[in-house]
Amino acid sequence: MPQALITGVTGQDGAYLAQFLLARGYRVLGLLRRSASSDVIGERLRWLGIIDQVALLDGDMSDLGSLIRIIDKHGPDEIYNLAAQSFVASSWQQPLLTAQVTGLGALNVLEAVRIAAPRARIYQASSSEMFGKIGTAEQNETTPFYPRSPYAAAKLFAHWMAVNYRESFGLHASSGLLFNHESPLRGIEFVTRKITDGVARIKLGLSRELRLGNLEAKRDWGHARDYVRAMWLMLQQEHPGDYVVATGRSTSVCEFCQIAFAHAGLDHREFVRVDPLLFRPAEVDALRGDATKARQALGWAPEVSLEALAAEMVEADLARHRARLKAD
C-alpha cells in the first residue's frame, strides 16, 4: 500500500486530494497543526465522508524537527505540500505569517525530505498568482514571474526552492503552477464562494445585496477535483518537472456573478454592489493559463465546466443555509 503525506490536508485541496488517493488504495497521512480549533478540524474531510480514513498527525510547518520526525517515522512515498496562508487579501495584513508558512514552511518540508526520505516524491503547490502583472495573454511554464502580493512573493520563494532542491540534491520535486480552482469546500473569504454564498442568502431571503470589490478582474477558474488529479499525475512521472494547470478560459468576477445568480433564477445586476474598500492594494488584472505541457506530458485535461462548478457551489450553499434554517 503506497503512503502519501499531505500538508494542509484539512483545506480544500487537501481534502479532495485525500479522497482521490484513498480511492486509489493509498494510506493517507495528514499533517495537522494542533493549535487549530477543535470545532472546525476536519470539516472538509467530514463533508467528503473520509475523516475516519485519514491518519492525522501532529506537526507544524514552522517546526523542522516535527517534520523530520514524521517523515522519518512513516516513510511516505509521496509528499504533497499544500499547507499555506492562502488568502491573497490577508497576505497584506499578515505578510510575516504568510512568508513563514507559505515560503519558509515549504523550505522546511524540502529540507526534511532531503534529510529523512530523499527518495520520496514531492509535490509543491505553486500558484498562478506568481505571474502577477506580467501582461501576456496566456501564461505557461516559461512565462516570467511578477508577483503582486506578499502571498505571491512567498509562493515564488517556495517554488524556486523546490527547483533548487531538485537540481542541487536530485530530489523528485515537482511544482504545479495551479490557476484558480474552486469547489463547495472553498473558504467563504474567497470571491467565488463569497458569490455563491451570497446567491444562496439572497435566494432564501437572508440578504438583500452582495458587496464585492473589483468586478473586472479576470481569472482562469477550474474545479479543485480536477486539479488534485493533476498533482498526482505529476508524481507518477519518471522525471520531476513544473506544470501549469489551468482551463485556458478567463472569466471576470462580474461574469462569474452572472453565471451563479442565473443558476438561482436571479439577475446579478439587482443585487451586486461595488465596495471600494474591498479592492486589493495591488491588483492582478487578468490571468489565463496555457496547460499544453500538462495535457501532452501528463494526459491531463479539466472535466468540469465553469457553469457546472458554479452550479455545484450554489446548490451546496443553498443546502447549507436551508439546513441552518431548519435547525433554527
Residue 170 CB: number of other CB atoms within 10 A? 12
- Whether 129 is catalytic: yes
Chain Cα centroid distance, residue 99: 17
Q: Which three cell numbers stand for residue 127?
A: 500558484
Helix axes 191-203, 306-327, angle to 10 degrees: 50
Cβ neighbours for 135, distance < 8 A, ≥ 6 positions apart:
none
> How far apart are alpha carbons 243 and 295 in whole angstroms?
10
Integer distance in angstroms from the first to the last C-alpha of the chain? 45
Q: Which three cell numbers stand for residue 241?
A: 518537472
Decide: 73 and 29 in contact? Cβ < 8 Å: no
Q: What is the secondary structure of 198-225 as a DSSP string?
A: HHHHHHTTS-S-EEES-TT-EE--EEHH
Element (H, E) at 18: helix 12-23
> How far apart are alpha carbons 172 and 216 in whole angstroms?
39
3-class DSSP state of 76: coil
- Whether 151 is catalytic: yes
* 151, 165, 227, 243: the active-site residue: 151
* 86, 126, 127, 149: the active-site residue: 127
**276: β partners:** none
Cβ neighbours for 235, distance < 8 A, ≥ 6 positions apart:
78, 80, 121, 122, 123, 172, 174
* 129, 165, 227, 312: the active-site residue: 129
What residues are labeled active site? 127, 129, 151
